[in-house]
């Protein structure tokens, strides 16, 4: 599942070649977050995300013995160790969505669950579960 999620992220980043100004990106992010929030039926959209819980190194729950993490999140960027070329991207949390600003594409994932050690995301209808591991 990590490969499917990573493939989704990287394929979308590579396939899109349109460039946008920062203002355009912000309005697109609002649209993506709104669309994502309205499509998630089981989680209320007015809940507050504890933004400190998402920081750290995350491993796909399906690949416990993987040689490296799926991604690492710090205060302002998310890093993908498998990504060729640019591997660090800005992100933000708006409402209950994780929005990643790839070079020419904005990706939004609904945050279904976020605890100290668990992150469950839904991206384009596909659920992914990640565990924090401080190796």
Question: Greater confidence, 4 or 80?
Answer: 80
Q: What span, in angstroms and rounded, lies between the C-alpha atoms of 2 and 6?
A: 6
Q: How many domains does the chain have?
A: 1
pLDDT in tens, 13-39: 333 333 333 444 444 445 444 444 444
29 phi/psi in degrees, rounded to 5 = -60, -40
Longest dimension (CA), the chain: 41
Residue 71: strand pairing partners = 58
Residue 134: predicted pLDDT: 59
| Average confidence score pLDDT of the chain | 73
Q: How confident is the model at residue 125 (pLDDT cuts 50, 70, 90)?
A: very high
| Mean pLDDT along residues 71-78 | 94
Question: Which pair of tokens denotes residue 38?
Answer: 């309205």
Domain that holds residue 62: 2-132
pLDDT in tens, 77-91: 999 998 888 999 999
Q: Give the H or E element holding residue 113.
A: strand 106-114
Q: What is the CATH number of the domain that holds 33?
A: 2.40.128
Question: Greater confidence, 99 or 8?
Answer: 99
């Amino acid at each position: 599942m990590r490969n499917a999620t990573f493939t989704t992220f990287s394929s979308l980043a590579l396939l899109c070649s349109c460039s946008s100004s920062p203002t355009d990106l912000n309005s697109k992010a609002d649209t993506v977050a709104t669309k994502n929030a309205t499509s998630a039926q089981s989680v209320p959209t007015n809940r507050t995300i504890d933004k400190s819980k998402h920081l750290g190194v995350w491993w796909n729950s399906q690949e416990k013995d993987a040689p490296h993490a799926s991604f690492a999140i710090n205060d302002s960027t998310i890093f993908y160790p498998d990504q060729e070329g640019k591997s660090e991207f800005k992100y933000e949390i708006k409402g209950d969505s994780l929005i990643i600003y790839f070079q020419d594409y904005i990706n939004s994932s609904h945050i279904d669950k976020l605890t100290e050690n668990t992150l469950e995301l839904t991206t384009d209808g596909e659920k992914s579960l990640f565990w924090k591991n401080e190796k």
